[in-house]
Amino acid sequence: MKIARYSYQGAIAFGIVDDDELVVLTSDPMFAGFDTTGDRVALADVKLLAPVIPRSKIIAVVSSEAFLLRPNTTVVGPSDAIVLPAASDRVEVDGQLAIIIGKIAKNVSIADAAGRVFGYTVATVVTAADLASETRAGAFDTFLPLGPIIETEFDEAATSLRGLINEEEFQAVDLGDDDRTTEDVVAALVSFASSVFTLLPGDVILAGPMDTPADVVDGDTVTMSIEGIGTLVNPVVRPA
């Protein structure tokens, strides 16, 4: 099931994607379930937003036993600009699978971890590469575009990730063959993170790194696609 968070006629709402329409939900399905209002809106008439704004934390996996935390102010949605900060002269992007936590998880086993996941989305992970030794390298506003939707039934073993800067491909990963994004490893990531701190609904775990980042500059357009989820497009700007 594909879930969108969107803006329509001045209000933010949630819907189930049904071809070129959205079946309107009564509230955030992560907390209120999938009850519908009976209304439908055309996808072409809405602005898709970041499908989740983490209330607590974003966990960027560095290795099997190391991670960094990113603030929720890094999150933007489809078509929103990646803003290059004045403090950095070299910014890079990397496409990753994002795991969305749906239930409170603390010290969960690998066997139980899948039951704590609400779904998956596409992440464009942005880093100030020349500040890589500093915790702020990935903490700037707009440094984590998410979207375009959450897929609750995503099969990570049967899909692929592709990244483009403008029209040039820089990343192509078969997620089923990548040993960091298999079902077992995703469960292990959730279990490990829950052993460190309590995971709350809406928390995001970035299942990477993919190890194929590329530099971006003012005027670029970054496109990240994961088969079965969708395509996330963001322009890159440097304020005058």
What string of H, E and C letters represents the secondary structure of 32-46? HCCCEEEEEEEHHHC
Are 70 and 101 part of one and the same domain? yes
* Contact by Cβ (8 Å): 125, 92: no
- Residue 67 is predicted with a pLDDT of 87
Question: What is the rounded distance in angstroms from the CA atom of residue 240 to the CA atom of residue 227?
Answer: 36
Whether residue 211 is predicted with pLDDT greater than 80 in this model: the reply is no
Confidence of residue 181 (pLDDT cuts 50, 70, 90): low
Are 42 and 72 part of one and the same domain? no
CATH value at residue 22? 2.30.30
Q: Reduced to 3 states, what is the DSSP secondary structure of residue 156?
A: helix
Whether residue 63 is predicted with pLDDT greater than 80 in this model: the reply is no
Whether residue 210 is predicted with pLDDT greater than 60 in this model: the reply is yes
How many domains does the chain divide into?
2
Whether residue 229 is predicted with pLDDT greater than 80 in this model: the reply is yes
User: Is the overall model pTM greater than 0.85, yes or no?
Assistant: yes
**Looking at 14-18, 43-47, 175-179, 199-203, which range is the least confident one?**
175-179
Of the three residues 28, 48, 68, the one that is the final residue of a domain is 48
Kindly report the CA angle at 218 between 212 and 219, in degrees rounded to 5? 95
What percent of the chain shows pLDDT beyond 90? 82
Are 65 and 84 part of one and the same domain? yes
Are 28 and 112 part of one and the same domain? no
Confidence of residue 207 (pLDDT cuts 50, 70, 90): confident
- Residue 126 is predicted with a pLDDT of 97
Are 205 and 106 part of one and the same domain? yes
Instruction: Name the average pLDDT for the chain.
Output: 93
Tens of pLDDT, residues 138-154: 999 999 999 999 999 87
Are 28 and 105 part of one and the same domain? no
- Residue 209 is predicted with a pLDDT of 59
Are 141 and 228 part of one and the same domain? yes
Strands 58-63 and 204-207, how do they pair?
parallel
- Residue 157 is predicted with a pLDDT of 67
Which pairs count as long-range contacts for 62-68, CB under 8 Å and 24+ apart, including other chains?
62/209, 64/188, 64/192, 65/192, 67/193, 67/196, 68/135, 68/138
Whether residue 158 is predicted with pLDDT greater than 90 in this model: the reply is no
- Residue 203 is predicted with a pLDDT of 98
Question: What is the rounded distance in angstroms from the CA atom of residue 59 to the CA atom of residue 211?
Answer: 17
CATH value at residue 225? 3.90.850.10
Are 74 and 145 part of one and the same domain? yes
Question: What is the rounded distance in angstroms from the CA atom of residue 112 to the CA atom of residue 101?
Answer: 13
**Mean pLDDT confidence for 205-228:** 90
- Residue 154 is predicted with a pLDDT of 79
Are 115 and 181 part of one and the same domain? yes
Residues in Cβ contact with 114 at an 8 Å cutoff, skipping those fewer than 6 apart: 183, 186, 187, 190
Residues in Cβ contact with 61 at an 8 Å cutoff, skipping those fewer than 6 apart: 67, 180, 189, 205, 206, 207, 208, 209
Task: Give domain status of residue 223, yes or no.
Answer: yes
Whether residue 59 is predicted with pLDDT greater than 60 in this model: the reply is yes
- Residue 175 is predicted with a pLDDT of 72
Strands 11-18 and 204-207, how do they pair?
unpaired
Task: Give domain status of residue 53, yes or no.
Answer: no
**Looking at 89-93, 108-112, 178-182, 221-225, which range is the least confident one?**
178-182
Q: What domain range is 212 assigned to?
A: 58-237
